Amino acid sequence: MGISARFAVLVTLVACVAGCAMEERVILLPEANGGPTSLDVHQGSHEVLLDRPYAATDLTVADPWPYQATAAEVQATFGDALAAQPVRAAHFTLYFNEASDDLTEESRAELERMLADVAKRPVRDIVIVGHTDAVGSDQYNDALARKRAERVKAMLVERGIAQTDIAAIGRGKRDLLVPTPDGTAEPRNRRVEIVVR
């Protein structure tokens, strides 16, 4: 290879390092509840463990380049992405009287809290899963679980939430919240679990 050809290769390489390479950066954020958190970053044979808030790494052409970022940097670089973050999903559990699809007194208050949460969301996606305790046959409990889920769905529709935004299903006595032998009456198992997204 002549000198000019070698020079051309070198120029291409330098140009690529400067221009073709994608600049990548990863920053770990604090947990909403302040708990511990970590993120494993693998780049080829290199591994960087980010394990405290704002621990960060640049991924350069050669090696990962760890550093400590700041909240201000996150806001400056990721403000648009963070502003587009949807409202977090919320989980609610409502309890029922024995062998019935009537909510317990306390759960009527919880229903109101759920409706307040739903009202904050511009686009709703609600999943209602009905459960029973272990008293009775599978067939009976499947029907009861479904009836409970449908009842809660009807309450939401009554309060102006579109039917199409709600899925209601029953799981009978298959997923007991409190494990019990078959045939055991357990109020905490007579419930619907609701996810609001």
Partner 1 sequence: MLRPIFAILLAFVVAAANAADIGQIKVSKGAVTIERAGQQIPGAVGTHVQASDVVRTGGDGSVGITMTDDSLLSAGPNSVLALDRYDFDDVTSRGQFDASLAKGSLAVVSGRLAKQSPDAMKIRTPSAVLGVRGTEFVVRVGDGH
Measured from the CB atom, the residue of 47 and 98 that comes closer to partner 1 is 47
CB of 160 to partner 1, least distance (A): 17
Report yes or no: 132 and 185 within 8 Å, Cβ to Cβ: no
* Burial of 119 per CB tally in 10 Å (0-12, 13-18, 19+): exposed
CB of 105 to partner 1, least distance (A): 29
Q: Which residues bind partner 1 (CB under 8 A)?
A: 18-32, 36-44, 50, 59, 64, 74, 77-89, 121-123, 125, 171, 175, 195, 197
> How distant is the alpha carbon of residue 130 from its chain centre?
21
Measured from the CB atom, the residue of 9 and 20 that comes closer to partner 1 is 20
CB of 10 to partner 1, least distance (A): 18
Instruction: Assign residue 185 a region (left: φ > 0; alpha: ψ between -120 and 50; beta: otherwise).
Output: beta
CB of 6 to partner 1, least distance (A): 24
Measured from the CB atom, the residue of 39 and 154 that comes closer to partner 1 is 39
* Burial of 173 per CB tally in 10 Å (0-12, 13-18, 19+): buried
Measured from the CB atom, the residue of 122 and 181 that comes closer to partner 1 is 122
Helix (H, G, I), strand (E, B) or coil at 91: strand
